[in-house]
Structure 1
């Protein structure tokens, strides 16, 4: 009987080297592929951070208006535009002191706050910022593009984590691993790539995680609320219409009084058979630029049907609603705004330096 030798175990150090080599190979080739899409998304995001500033620069007449909320003007806009596919109206506020209508086909129209006259129409076909938003949020492909974007987000998280693992130094060598060199080219591109990536990884992780959280909003909310508490935003009530028209001046006044100190941000015409007029509002202390609080009143503006103050939710729900403002850099003032824009440039920088390092190394 011939004895069969047992297979020799792979030494731990050799196994670690093989895993590291595999991760380095994946980091390189996935980075050169998916990293290109990641870079495009990042660059478009950097521009979108300053979207409102660019709009005011393009349309300086918008800054001449005062943010006035008039119920009669709102009623006129809704009556005139509902047949055009209007699905909601953003109320005038300090940053954009005009009425903004959002349409089912993706268009956006801006109306004067004093009389509701049309000032501007924007869409991905005629406005670069609207086009960049479609690229950034949907890869110009609607729901399919958004699904692809979610996959790219997960892969990008993997690239960041594998890059961090490949960089991780031995004890006492952190400073050496963060050092950058001017030459030779191979060392220059490698040290620029890994040092910039490591130093700014926290910001890039935040931006990528919040982006993935927006694509998979329902899953993110379920996870955070299960861990930290909270629930769904209360659904709008429904009751049969008791009158044909909406008393918009009374409705606005009643909704504003329901959340003292809050800013009403969005509304729309109720369904013909529904008596409920719904508002989005930004309560004091909310990070979300449009607010996640809600107010629901009847068409007559007499009955207050439901009020949801988002600041009173448990931690998990508040964390969910912080995803969007953290992603767009609307929290933390001007400093965070510029840091968010800088973070959007980083994927392109990492792609370029990684490619240059690979090319020089391959050339040798």
Structure 2
């Protein structure tokens, strides 16, 4: 027998059941996302926090390097062809792969990159070795290897890429869980002093939302550096752009020397307003000397422009101006400078360092909120 209590209290409006089901689904989705956000955040967020903290330090890598090694400072940042020739002749047999030219406003010495990961620093006037660094004897290089590959080589880089995508998911689910009803935006952004559960929750969500654009930019550009080929294909496909031109092919006799003073002079005129940044010894039998360059208007600290000249320094073979590329290619090459804070001056540099601290703050406040809430049950 059906009782009166089992009957509806009034007429059921059209769509009532569908609205109830939709509300139930939203609540179920929200509960599931909240659970994932908590536990994935506590696990993957720990790695994300450590990587972020290391990135905050590495933003000031060159400043810390010269503070730690004052012998690298006080030099005239001048690229002398004879000195360059001497460094390459002495160190190429020992694994020197490329040389970064002395940089005005940066490290004013020659910086050598070796195949085994070492970095050598050479006096710009004499070519004398001033410092040899590696991850085994230098804490900044150790920190750099942790930041880019979790000290695990190619496998560590892949793991870091997965953590990066998880971090993007955490940021977006956090935004979804925070999103308020109409008219309550400012209320949801308020940070409270107490009680503890409310304090940690509001500090966690409000700081995350307010700084979300900066942290999301740092995270996506980091992922973009790991999956560079995929990001480049997507951006150039959507906005246009091609890859850099291939190096010209020219054969030279094995005993043809490189006239480095003339080569530097000629290459330096290839891009008016540009600055040569890196070079290396030409391949055996090749008549082509390659340079990286930073043209006026490029964000990348080392530039993505390219210059190729012959060994004798008499012929400019190719000059690729990275600023003349289509938007997709230029957007791709903006990923690295945006990630390391090398654009926008000191303000953006400090903002990038601050973004690296935020994952640790979110991890700690999220953990404290979970612990306090759990203790009240």
TM class by smaller structure: over 0.9
Separation of aligned partners in 1, 2:188 and 2:252: 68
1:140 counterpart = 2:177: no
Match of 1:192 among 182, 203, 215: 203
| TM-score, normalised relative to structure 1 | 0.97
2:6 aligns with none
Match of 2:236 among 202, 215, 225: 225
1:299 counterpart = 2:322: no
Q: 1:20 and 1:334, CA in 2 relative to 1: closer, same or farther beyond 3 A? A: same
Deviation of 1:238 (Å): 1.7
Cα distance per residue 1:194-246 (max 9 Å; x no partner): 00000000000000010011000011110000100101011111211145210
SS at match of 1:64: coil
Larger radius of gyration: 2
SS at match of 1:224: helix
1:51 aligns with 61
Match of 2:338 among 305, 326, 348: 326
| TM-score, normalised relative to structure 2 | 0.93
Unaligned runs of 5+ in 1: 1-6
Match of 1:177 among 180, 188, 196: 188
Deviation of 1:307 (Å): 0.7
Cα distance per residue 1:273-305 (max 9 Å; x no partner): 111000000000000000000000110111111
The question of whether the paired residues in 2 share the 8 Å contact of 1:244 and 1:272 is answered with: no
The question of whether the paired residues in 1 share the 8 Å contact of 2:292 and 2:302 is answered with: yes
1:240 counterpart = 2:261: no
Cα distance per residue 1:242-290 (max 9 Å; x no partner): 4521000011111011112211000000111111000000000000000
2:98 aligns with 88
RMSD: 1.2
Count residues in correspondence. 358
Cα distance per residue 1:169-215 (max 9 Å; x no partner): 00110111011111111111000000000000000000001001100
Cα distance per residue 1:316-351 (max 9 Å; x no partner): 000000000000011100000000000000000000
Separation of aligned partners in 2, 1:46 and 1:311: 29
Match of 1:17 among 27, 32, 41: 27
Deviation of 1:61 (Å): 2.5
1:254 counterpart = 2:263: no
Q: 1:338 and 1:9, CA in 2 relative to 1: closer, same or farther beyond 3 A? A: closer
1:35 aligns with 45
SS at match of 1:239: coil
1:110 aligns with 121
Separation of aligned partners in 2, 1:68 and 1:9: 73
1:269 counterpart = 2:272: no
2:217 aligns with 206
1:3 aligns with none
Separation of aligned partners in 1, 2:252 and 2:216: 48
SS at match of 1:82: helix
1:280 aligns with 292
SS at match of 2:313: coil
Cα distance per residue 1:76-103 (max 9 Å; x no partner): 0000001111110000011111000000
Separation of aligned partners in 2, 1:153 and 1:273: 43
Aligned pairs (5 A) from 1:112-127: 112-127=123-138
Separation of aligned partners in 1, 2:153 and 2:141: 14
